[in-house]
Structure 1
C-alpha cells in the first residue's frame, strides 16, 4: 500500500476531536461485548457442522451429508454480502449504532431458532429448509456486525492505540468462538454420544438467547462515533451530500469513488478468512473422519488453537502500534503460505501433540496477524461518509464468494484426492497470495499528519491532495 491515486482524498481522521480515554473505553467494551456474543452465536454452526448437523439434518444424503452440511455453512456467507450491502448503507445513512443494535437482535433470533429446530427424523424435509432459513438470517446479521464494529472502534479510539484497541474488539469474536468450543467440549465429554446428538448440542444455541439480551443492554448506552458525528454536521451544513438510501446505489457510489480501494477491500481478507474457516469447520470434520480423532480430541485441538490465537491477536495488535499494520499484515500473509502445507503434514501424522502444534502455528500467524492488521487498514480504504457501504460490501462480497464456500471447496478438493489434503493447502496458500495482491493494490486515504500521529500507520504514504 503506497501512494493514493485518489485526487483530493482527505484523511478520515482530519478535523475529528480525539476521543477521551473514557469514551474510548466505553466504545471498545460495548463493541467487544457485542462481537463476543454475535460471533459466539455465528461460530456455533462451524463447530457442530461435521459432528451434528450432517447426521441429524442430512441423514438422507448418505456419503454427501458432509458436503450438504458445508453447503448450508456457505449459505450463511451468501447472505452476508446482502446483509453487508443493506446494513452498511444504513450505517452511512442513519449511523453505526442502529446497525449494531439490529444485527445482534437478528443473530439472536436465528441462533435460538436453530437450537429449537427438530431434526429430519421428526419433520422431514422441513428440517434442512428451516436450517437454511436460519443460516440466511444469521448471515444477514453477521454481514454487518464485524465490519460495523470494526468501523465504530476505529472511529472511536485514540490514534496512539489504533492497533491494540482494534485487536481487543476482534478478540471478542475469537473469545465468543472459544466459549462455543468450551461448551461443546464439556457437553460432549459429559454426555453419551446418543444424549449429545439428542439434546446436548442444543444447549449452547439456546444460551445465545440470554447472551443476546445482555448484548442489547450493553449497546443501548453507545453513542455515535466522533467521525460519523462530524460527517453528520457537514451534511447538515450542506458540505457533504446525504448518504443514499438505496443500498445498491450506495455500494455503487462507494465503488465509483475509488474502484482500486474497493478491490483491495475485497482481496485483503482472503488469506485470513480461508485460513480461519478451513481450520475451524473443515478442520474439525477432517480430523474426525480422515485422521480418526475423537470428537473430544478434535474440540480440544480447536480450543487450544483459538486460545493461543487470541493471545497472539493481542500481541499482533500491540505490534501494529510498534512496527505498523502494513508490516504485520505482510508477516501474516507471507507466513501463511508455508504454514498451510506444514499444517496438513503434521495433521497426517495422527499425533495429537503435533496436530495441536500445527493448528496453533497456522492460526496464531496466518490468521491472527492478518486480522489484527486489517482492523486498522480496511476502514482507511474508504472515506467516512461512504465507509459503511464501501468497506462492508467489499469485505462481505469476499466472504460470500471466497470465505463462505471455503469449507465446501476444501471438502471437494480433499475428496478429489481421496482424502489427501495437499490441494486444500494450496487453496490456503492461494488465498494468502490474494491478500498480498490486495496489499499492493490498496491506497489508504491518510494524510502525512495522520501517519506522523498514528504509529499503526507506519509504512504508509500519504494520499495525494
Structure 2
C-alpha cells in the first residue's frame, strides 16, 4: 500500500512540463551566476588589488590578510545557510531565492563604492569585512537553494544534466568576472586600473542583481515543495520550524549519518576549486612570476574548459550514476593535485594552463556535477532546506572558505614549496570519498532505480 506522505516527499516532478523545468533551471542559474560572479570578483582581485589597496599596512602579510577576509565570507555562510535554509522549509524555496540574490547584490555594489585604506584608514578593511559578511550570509543559501529547487522541479531521467546546466550559471558568472578583469587590466593603464578600474565590475553587479530579481519574481514554487505544503496544511506532515536552530536540530536528528555525509561530500571539489582559483592566481603571480594578464588568461582558459567539463560530467551522471562520477573526480583528483604543482613550477605557460585545466575539469567539475544529484537525495523535502543548506555551508565555513588562507599558510610553512598544499587537496578529496561511503539517500530502491543519475547509491534501508 502506498504511503501518501512518502509520495508527497518524492524528490521528483514527473508531471512537470518541460517548460516549467526550463524556467526553474534558468531562474536558479541566474542566482548562481550572480553569486559566483560576485564571489569570483573578490577571489580574482584578492592578491592583485585588494591586498595593496585595503591592507597596505600589513606589508608582506597583505595577501594573507586579504585571504582572511575571503574566508570571513565563508565563516558567515553557515549562519545564512541555517537561517535561510529553515526559512525555505517553512515558507518556500522562492522567497529565499529572491532574498539571497538581493542581499548579495547590495553587498557587491557596496564593495565597488568602498573607499580604500589611503582614504579612510582602518575603516576600509573593517567595512570590507562587513560587506563580505553580508555577501556570505546571502550566499549561504543561494547555491544550495538553487540545487534543491532544480532537483525538485526536474524529471527523473535528466537530473544530472539539469544540474550541470544550473552549474553553468555559476561558471559563466566566474568567467565573466575573469573576462571583465582581463580586459580592464590590459586596456587600462596600471595606475588607472588600481585607482578606479577595478571598481567597475563590482558596480556592474547591481545591474546583474536587478536582472536576476526580474527572473525570480515570476518564478513559481517548486512542485515538490507545493505537494509537501498541501500535506502540511492537511495535518499529515509537520510544518517546518520557524526557529533556525530547532530546524537544524530536527534535520540532524532525522539522519545524523546523512548530515555528516552532506558535510563531507563537497570537500574535495571546494578545496580544489578555491586553491586553483583564488590561491592559484596569487601563487602564479608572486611565486612563479607570471604577469597579471598571463595569470588571468590561465584562469579564464581553465574555467572556460570547465563549462564543457560540467556538461560532460552531468551527462555522464545520467548514464552511469553520480556516485561513479564522484569517485572518478575524487580519486583521480588526488594525483592530479601533485601533478598540478609540479607543472606550475616549470614556469612554462603552456604547461601551467594545461595543468590548471585538467585539475579543474576533473578534480572540481566532476564533484560539482555529482553533488547536485546526491546532496538533495540525503534529506526529505520537509527538512531538505535546513539539512542540506546547513550541512553544506558548515563545510564551506570550516573547510572550503579557509582553503586559500590555509594554502597560503602551508606555502609559508614549507618555505615556498607547494607540496603541503597538494597534500591538503588530496586530503580534502579523501573526505569526499568518506562522505560518499557514509551517505544513505532517503529513497526507496524503486525510486533510486527510476532516477537514472542515482544508480549505484545505497538507500537508507540498507
The interval holding the TM-score normalised by the smaller chain is over 0.9
Among 168, 171, 179, the residue aligned to 2:168: 171
Aligned counterparts, 1:387-398, within 5 A: 387-398=384-395
Among 152, 173, 179, the residue aligned to 2:149: 152
Q: Secondary structure at the match of 2:456?
A: coil
Q: Secondary structure at the match of 2:375?
A: helix
Aligned counterparts, 1:26-425, within 5 A: 26-425=23-422
Shift of 1:461: 3.2
Q: Does 1:457 align with 2:424?
A: no
Cα distance in 1 for partners of 2:178, 2:14 equals 41
Q: Secondary structure at the match of 2:427?
A: helix
Cα distance in 2 for partners of 1:223, 1:413 equals 47
Q: Secondary structure at the match of 2:374?
A: helix
Shift of 1:67: 0.7
Cα distance in 2 for partners of 1:107, 1:462 equals 36
**Once the two structures are superposed, what CA deviation does each residue of 1:55-112 show, in whole Å capped at 9, x if it has no partner?**
0000000111011000000000001000000000000000000000000110010000
Count of residues paired in the alignment: 458
Cα distance in 1 for partners of 2:375, 2:311 equals 18
Shift of 1:449: 2.2
RCO higher in structure (CA 8 A, sep ≥6): 1
The answer on whether the counterparts of 1:332 and 1:366 sit within 8 Å (CA) in structure 2 is: yes
| Partner in structure 2 of residue 3 of structure 1 | none
TM-score, with structure 2 as normaliser: 0.97
Aligned counterparts, 1:439-454, within 5 A: 439-454=436-451
**Once the two structures are superposed, what CA deviation does each residue of 1:8-42 show, in whole Å capped at 9, x if it has no partner?**
98894279543111111111111112211222112
TM-score, with structure 1 as normaliser: 0.97
**Once the two structures are superposed, what CA deviation does each residue of 1:350-409 show, in whole Å capped at 9, x if it has no partner?**
000000000000000000001000000000000000000000000000000000000000
Cα distance in 1 for partners of 2:356, 2:137 equals 29
Cα distance in 2 for partners of 1:235, 1:9 equals 13
Q: Does 1:20 align with 2:17?
A: yes
Shift of 1:463: 3.5
The answer on whether the counterparts of 1:341 and 1:422 sit within 8 Å (CA) in structure 2 is: yes
Cα distance in 2 for partners of 1:9, 1:262 equals 20
Which runs of 5 or more residues in structure 2 are unaligned? Answer: none
The answer on whether the counterparts of 2:9 and 2:227 sit within 8 Å (CA) in structure 1 is: no
Cα distance in 2 for partners of 1:101, 1:112 equals 17
Q: Secondary structure at the match of 2:341?
A: helix
Shift of 1:269: 0.4
Cα distance in 2 for partners of 1:447, 1:437 equals 22
Q: Structure 2 vs 1, CA of residues 366 and 327 (structure 1 numbering), >3 Å: closer, same or farther?
A: same
The answer on whether the counterparts of 1:271 and 1:333 sit within 8 Å (CA) in structure 2 is: yes
Shift of 1:242: 1.2
Which runs of 5 or more residues in structure 1 are unaligned? Answer: 1-7
